[in-house]
Amino acid sequence: MAALSRTSQNLTVAVVGAALLWISLFSQAFLNYVRPGFRPFLIAAGGCLVVLAVVGAIRHWRDPAAHGDGHAQACGHGGHGPRAAWLIFLPVLTIFFIAPPALGSYTATRDGEREVLGRVDESKYQKRSPYPMPMDVWEFYTLARDGRHDMLSGQPVELTGIVVPREEGGWYLGRFKIFCCAADAAALRVRIHGKPSPPADTWVTVAGTWVPPANGKRVSQGVDPELSVTRLERVPKPLEPYE
Amino acid sequence: MPDKPSGAASVVLAHDEDELFPPPSWGRREQPSRAGVLWALVAVAAALAAGRLWVAPLIDAPAVQTWATVFVAISVQALPFLVFGVALSAAISAFVPASFWMRALPRRPAAAVPVAGVAGVVLPGCECASVPVAGGLMTRGVPPAAALTFLLAAPAINPVVLVATAVAFPGRPEMVAARFVASLSVAVVVGWLWARFGRAGWLRMPARPATAGEGKWEVFRRSMEHDFLHAGGFLVVGALAAATLKVVIPGGWIAAVADTPWLAVLALALLAVLLSICSEADAFVVASMTEFSPVAKLAFLVVGPMVDLKLIALQVGTFGRGFAARFAPVTFGLAVGVSALVGWWLL
C-alpha cells in the first residue's frame, strides 16, 4: 500500500512544484499575488519541488522494494493519517479553478483608509514640468497626505489605477500597494473630479492637478486626496497590478 | 551512511509515523505500473486545464475572488520559505551529526536557551521556515527548550526582518530596538519556562521517515519530501483561516478600540494572530495603522512572528495538538506582557 502512497507523495510534490513554476516561470500570474521581486524565489522553490519529486519517482521505479514497503508494514493501520497532507492541493486547485485575479474595487471600497508608508524620492519630482508627470499613486497619496503644496500645487500629474465607485456618488482612482503579498495590500484611493466614472474595475490613466483640501484636513485625518482631471484614457491592465 | 543511534531512533519513532505519512487511502495494494503513474499525471493536468478553461470564467463573485486571491497569495508567498525551511531541516538531519550540537550548545538546557535565541539571527526568513528547522534540530538531539527558543526568535530578529522594520518606521530606530529586545526576551523566557516546567509528553517529537541503511542524500530527499507534505498541508489550513478573516473582518472596525490604551494593545496583538502576515511584511502593515499607539504596534510586531493562525496550524502538524494548545497561549500572553513593558521603557 505504501507503494502507491509513495507515488502519491511524489505526484503531490510534483504538482505543487509545477503550479509554482506555472505562475512564476511560464506566466505572469504571480504578480497578482506577490511582489515582482519574489519571482526568483518562486522559481527556485518550484524547481526544487519538481526535482525532489522526479528523483523520488526515479528511485522508486528503479527499486520499488528498496524502502517504503517496510514502512507500509510499520503503519499498517486504519485510515487515520493526517488528512492535512491533502490540503496542499487546495491552493493549486484554486489557482486553476478560480484563477484569482488581482484585488479590485470590491476590496478597495471595503478597506479602511491607510496612511501609507515609504519615502517618496522627491528628487524625481523636483523639476517642474508643464506636462503631466507620471507618478505612482502611493507617491501622490503620500505627498498629498504630508501636505506638500510645494511639490503638488499646480504641477499636473499622471496616475494609473482602477475605477472604484464612491458610495456617496462620484468615483475614485484606486490602486493597491503591497509589501509582501496581496494579503497585506493597502488600498489607496484618490477622489477624481472632472470626468464621469467609467465602469468599476476599468484600468484608466488620468492626468490632472491636485486639489488642496478645502478645510485644511490632511489625508490621514480621514480625507482621501483629490485630483481634478483633464484627461482620462482607458488602458490595458498593467503587468504589475500593485505598486 | 547513518550511524547506529539514528537507526535505533527511527525504530522507536516508527509507531508514530502513521500520524505523519499521508493516509493509506492514498494508495491501493497493487504495485503501480509506470503507465498508471503517467496516466495519473495526465489526468491531474487535464483536470487543472479544464478548470482553467471552463470553471474559472464562471466564478466572478467579487467576495469569492477576493478570498481566493488572498488565500493563494498567502500560500504562494509562504511556500518558498517553507521549501527553504524544510530543505534546511532535512540538511540538518542528513548532514550535521548529532554530536555537533552537543559541542555547539551548552550542556544545560537553561544555558543553551539564550544561545539558541541569539542564534536565531542567522536564519533569514519568516516564521514558516523556522518551524521545520526547529523540528529538525530536536530530532538531532538539541534540547526542546533551546529549539523552541530558536523557533520563536528566528523569524523576529533576523536581519531581513529588522531592516524591513527600520524601513517601515523611518526615523524611529527605537522601534527596531524594541522589537529586537522584546522578541528575544519572550523567546528566551518561553525557553526557560519549557526547560523548567515542560514535560516530554506534551511534545510529539517530529518523526523522521525510517531511513536506516540509506545514503545521506536519500535521507535528505525523504526528510524533505516528508516534511514538506506534512507542514504544507497545515500551512494551507492557516492560509484558509487567515484569508477568510481578511474577507470577513470589515476594514476599519478595529480602529474603534484604538483610543483605550490597554484595549488597543490587546486588539492589535489579536489582529496579529488572525491576519498571519509574514514577519517580513508585518511592520509595513502595522505602521500604516496610524490610530494606534507605538506600544500597540510593538505588540503586533512581537506577537505576529510567534503566534498566528498559520503558525499554530504548522505547530499542530509538527509537534502535535497537545503541544500547540499549551505553547501558543503561553507565548501569546508573554508576548503581550513583554511588549507592554518594553514599549513603556523604550518607546
Contact across the interface for A81 and B18, Cβ inside 8 Å: yes
pTM above 0.90, yes or no: no
- Answer whether B51 touches A (CB < 8 Å): yes
Contact across the interface for A90 and B73, Cβ inside 8 Å: no
For residue A107, list chain B residues with Cβ-Cβ distance below 8 A.
Answer: 66
Contact across the interface for A116 and B20, Cβ inside 8 Å: no
Distance from CA of A116 to the nearest CA of B (A): 5
Read off the pLDDT of each residue in B17-35 and give the average, rounded to a whole number.
Answer: 48
Q: Does an H or E element contain B220, and which?
A: helix B216-248
Q: How many residue pairs from chains A and B have C-beta atoms closer than 8 A?
A: 277
User: pLDDT for B137-194, tens place per residue?
Assistant: 888 888 899 999 999 998 888 887 888 788 778 778 999 999 999 999 999 999 999 9
Q: What is the pLDDT of residue B7?
A: 41
Q: What is the pLDDT of residue A75?
A: 33
For residue A75, list chain B residues with Cβ-Cβ distance below 8 A.
Answer: 14, 17-18, 21, 24
Mean per-residue pLDDT over chain B, rounded: 79
Q: Do B97 and B249 touch, CB atoms closer than 8 A?
A: no
Q: What is the pLDDT of residue A219?
A: 52
Main-chain dihedrals φ then ψ at residue A197, nearest 5 degrees:
-75, 125
Contact across the interface for A115 and B290, Cβ inside 8 Å: yes
Q: Where is pLDDT greater, at B224 or A222?
A: B224
- Answer whether B3 touches A (CB < 8 Å): no
Q: How confident is the model at residue A43 (pLDDT cuts 50, 70, 90)?
A: very high
Q: What is the pLDDT of residue B136?
A: 84
Which residues lie closer than 8 Å to A201 by C-beta, 6 or more apart? Answer: A104, A105, A162, A163
Q: Where is pLDDT greater, at A47 or B205?
A: A47
Q: What is the pLDDT of residue B10?
A: 40
Q: Where is pLDDT greater, at A116 or A19?
A: A19
Tracing cell 497569495 back to the chain, one arrives at: B73
Q: How confident is the model at residue B17 (pLDDT cuts 50, 70, 90)?
A: very low
For residue A56, list chain B residues with Cβ-Cβ distance below 8 A.
Answer: 221-222, 225
Which residues lie closer than 8 Å to A42 by C-beta, 6 or more apart? Answer: A20, A21, A23, A24, A25, A30, A34, B76, B79, B80
Give the number of other Cβ atoms within 10 Å of residue A10's Cβ: 23
CA A69 to chain centre: 44
Write the residue in B83, B170, B232 that is nearest to A119 by C-beta: B170
3-class SS of residue B142? coil
Cβ-in-10-Å burial (0-12, 13-18, 19+) of B115 comes to middle
User: pLDDT for A189-211, tens place per residue?
Assistant: 899 999 999 999 999 999 999 88
For residue B84, list chain A residues with Cβ-Cβ distance below 8 A.
Answer: 45
Write the residue in B76, B284, B285 that is nearest to A23 by C-beta: B76
Q: What is the pLDDT of residue B343?
A: 93
User: Which of A174-178, B252-256, B298-302 is least confident?
Assistant: B252-256
Q: Is the pLDDT of residue A182 over 90?
A: no
Contact across the interface for B278 and A180, Cβ inside 8 Å: yes
Q: Could you tell me where the beta strands, DSSP code E, fall in B43-163?
A: none
User: pLDDT for A86-135, tens place per residue?
Assistant: 788 889 988 888 888 899 888 888 766 566 556 778 787 777 788 888 99
Q: Where is pLDDT greater, at B214 or A162?
A: A162
Q: What is the pLDDT of residue A114?
A: 61
User: pLDDT for A67-79, tens place per residue?
Assistant: 543 343 333 323 3
Tracing cell 550540537 back to the chain, one arrives at: B101
DSSP per position, A44-63: HHHHHHHHHHHHHHHHHHH-
Q: What is the pLDDT of residue B26?
A: 47
- Answer whether B200 touches A (CB < 8 Å): no
Mean per-residue pLDDT over chain A, rounded: 81
Q: Is the pLDDT of residue B27 over 60?
A: no
Q: Where is pLDDT greater, at A94 or B125?
A: A94
User: Which of B46-50, B189-193, B336-340 is least confident?
Assistant: B46-50
Give the number of other Cβ atoms within 10 Å of residue B19's Cβ: 16
Write the residue in B28, B71, B277 that is nearest to A184 by C-beta: B277
Q: What is the pLDDT of residue B33?
A: 58
Which residues lie closer than 8 Å to B341 by C-beta, 6 or more apart? Answer: B182
Contact across the interface for B218 and A59, Cβ inside 8 Å: yes
Q: Is B50 left (phi over 0), alpha (psi -120 to 50) or beta?
A: alpha
Contact across the interface for B59 and A97, Cβ inside 8 Å: yes
Q: Where is pLDDT greater, at B116 or B278?
A: B116
Q: What is the pLDDT of residue B211?
A: 57
Q: Is the pLDDT of residue A154 over 70?
A: yes
Q: Which of A39, A100, A24 is nearest to B71 (CA)?
A: A100
Question: What sign does the CA torsion over A86, A92, A97, A101 have?
Answer: positive
The Cα–Cα gap between B294 and B159 comes to: 21
The Cα–Cα gap between B104 and A23 comes to: 42
Tracing cell 527499486 back to the chain, one arrives at: A63
**Which of A33, A43, A61 to substitute to test the interface with B, most B CBs within 10 Å?**
A33
Global ipTM: 0.87
Q: What is the pLDDT of residue B303?
A: 95
Q: What is the pLDDT of residue A162?
A: 95
Write the residue in B234, B237, B288 that is nearest to A117 by C-beta: B288
Q: Where is pLDDT greater, at A124 or A173?
A: A173
Q: Is the pLDDT of residue B8 over 50?
A: no
Q: Where is pLDDT greater, at B106 or B285?
A: B106
Q: Using alpha carbons only, what angle is made at residue B15 by residues B12 and B16, rounded to the nearest 5 degrees?
A: 100
CA B255 to chain centre: 28
Q: Which of B204, B227, B200, B230 is nearest to B94 (CA)?
A: B227
Q: Where is pLDDT greater, at B207 or B338?
A: B338
- Percent of chain A exceeding pLDDT 90 equals 34
Nearest residue in chain B measured CA to CA from A12? B229
